[in-house]
Amino acid sequence: MNDGSKDFAENGDLGEDSDIDEMDKVEQDESDSSTEQDGEDLFLDEDDSSATGFYWFVVFNKCLQIKSSCLEELWGQDGDGIERSSLVMSIKRFKILTRCLRFGDRITRSKRKAFDYFAPIRDVFEKFVKNCQSFYSPGENVTIDEMFPSFRSKCSFGQCIPSRPTKYGIKLFALVDAEVICTFNMEIYAGKQPEGLFCVSNKPPDVAKRMAAPLFGFGRNITDDY
């Protein structure tokens, strides 16, 4: 697993700490001003129709590989837009929600980050993994390997691997079905965590055991390259 990776902090152009905290106040001030003008409530409850519409747009844009610079085309009024876009929400509100979206409690984030570098998005990540395990049953053959999605921003556990096509990203371990390549379990590599609940061994055998734990006793064939 020693693939020559380096933390973002070792690169001069990228900082060690996340800039989420610094952006919160600025974005909150901007969003408050914008929503007051629109007369809209920025609060996004998961049961709100706005949440459903927002999630639909995110998935839709990803499926069509639409870049953020081309969002205006979805709300176009010259015949090339999508009619349902303006019926769900305005493009201004969509941009506000995108800019202000957070995956954890901002009030308790500083306390949680003291013992977990992954605190800002741990809650939603663990919910995603739980849903993967609740709604999918893998076949008899599964594999464990590393994934390296592209990501270049200020992040304490980001990696720089010059030998990869995508030089900057976040390393994670995944257990997937070998036949249909559906994910069943994942774990983010957050480096050396502070002492506490999330301070775990990153040695290959220990990682493999944690990834395969949900399938122990279910008769699956597990393959890894560690």
List the pLDDT tens digit at each of the 226 positions of the chain.
Answer: 555 665 544 443 443 444 444 444 444 454 444 443 443 434 455 556 667 777 777 777 666 666 655 677 777 766 555 666 777 778 888 888 877 777 767 777 778 888 888 888 888 889 889 999 999 999 999 999 998 888 877 777 888 888 888 888 889 999 999 998 899 999 999 888 888 888 889 898 999 999 999 999 899 999 987 6
Residue 143: closest CA among 179, 194, 109: 179
| Sequence-distant (≥ 6) Cβ neighbours of residue 188 within 8 angstroms | 118, 125, 157, 170, 171, 172
Nearest to 109 by CA among 122, 128, 127, 99: 122
Report if pTM > 0.85. Answer: no
* Class of residue 196 by CB neighbours under 10 A (exposed 0-12, middle 13-18, buried 19+): exposed
Residues 6 or more apart in contact with residue 226 via CB below 8 angstroms? 1, 144, 204, 205, 207, 208
Cα 80–chain centre separation? 31
So what's the pLDDT on residue 52?
74
Residue 173: predicted pLDDT: 93
